[in-house]
């Protein structure tokens, strides 16, 4: 399967714990995006990487959230001191530089904070 992959697919954690999610984009896609989707809403943009550089962050990305893409390939999204309001589906997408509006999504990581 050469699509976008995400790990884990599901994560249940207790409030206050730290969690980290991983995204592996389609190879040769040097643009990588993170979105968050809550129940009954469309996905909301969180942040974007071009290669290893994080070029844009949404106001939704509080200081408890940090994303990295150290070698310009896979990316991680870490949430520190999780809160119940962080419960959501975290979606990763990737695109080619020539067509950044055509983004391919991974299956998502569903986070439940108890």
Partner 1 sequence: RKEVEQDPGPFNVPEGATVAFNCTYSNSASQSFFWYRQDCRKEPKLLMSVYSSGNEDGRFTAQLNRASQYISLLIRDSKLSDSATYLCVVTPWDGTASKLTFGTGTRLQVTL
Beta bridge partners of 91: 35
Enumerate helices (H) and strands (E) in the chain, giving the number of each: 0, 11
74 binds partner 1 (CB under 8 A): no
Site string for partner 1, 4-43 (x = CB under 8 A): ---------------------------x-x-x----xxxx
Residue 83 touching partner 1 (CB under 8 A):
no
Interaction site with partner 1 (CB under 8 A): 31, 33, 35, 40-45, 48, 50, 55-56, 91, 93, 95, 100-108, 110
């Amino acid at each position: 399967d050469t699509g976008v992959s995400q790990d884990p697919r599901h994560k249940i954690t207790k409030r206050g714990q730290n969690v980290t999610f991983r995204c592996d984009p389609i190879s040769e896609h040097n643009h990588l995006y993170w979105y968050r989707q809550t129940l009954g809403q469309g996905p909301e943009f969180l942040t974007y990487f071009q290669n290893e550089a994080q070029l844009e962050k949404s106001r939704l990305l509080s200081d408890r959230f940090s994303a990295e893409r150290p070698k310009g390939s896979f990316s991680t999204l870490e949430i520190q001191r999780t809160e119940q309001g962080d419960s959501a589906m975290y979606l990763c997408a990737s695109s080619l530089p020539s067509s950044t509006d055509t983004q391919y999504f991974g299956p998502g990581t569903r986070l439940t904070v108890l």
